[in-house]
Amino acid sequence: MSLFKRVKNIFKSPEPLKTERSVLTLGPGDVCEVSLVTYQVIGRTKPLSRNAVWLTLRDGADIRYLSVEEREKTTYGLYSVIDGRLDSVDEVPTEVELDGVHYFLEERYSTRITESGNAPFTAAGGELYVWQYQSDGRKLLRIEWQDGRFMLYEGESVLPADVEWLRGSG
């Protein structure tokens, strides 16, 4: 190597470090494995006021949702849509009994969201209101409301060791 190339390499700025990839940065086109089932991520909803993400997953014709929230530790929940309806946002209860399982309100919040891909709600609708319930077991219930439309989900908490992710080509 010539002296000129050595001097040039000394003054060359270093390449920026690549950001660490995590499950919170997954988006459409990525692949996620939850409890030994491989899903394609087809949608992503990110609440702006929380360190969390709501991923829409597809395995063939089956659509599921993975909730990921990072606080003191990272928590995961795998959900499916359930049929049901509520008449008003003012009538969301603090306790719900569904198929013999008693759920208690754990948390409720509202936030603005950003979304990409196939997501249940769009960011154009304004505030998203969320009620999260938990049973005595590992069962979870989630109610979302935006612009007069309710979505209800039933699921269960997932151990962090049961969630793995791969990045897509995009």
Residue whose C-alpha is closest to residue 110's, from 129, 91, 124: 129
Tens of pLDDT, residues 106-135? 999 999 988 888 888 765 656 889 999 999
**Hey, what are 126's tokens?**
């304004």
Q: Is residue 123 part of a domain?
A: yes
Domain total in the chain: 1
Q: Is residue 41 part of a domain?
A: yes
**Does pTM top 0.95 for this prediction?**
no
Q: Is residue 80 part of a domain?
A: yes
Q: Is residue 10 part of a domain?
A: no
Query: Domain span at residue 64?
Result: 22-158
User: What percentage of the chain has pLDDT greater than the value 70?
Assistant: 88
Please check whether residue 128 is in contact with residue 111, taking contact to mean a CB–CB distance below 8 angstroms.
yes
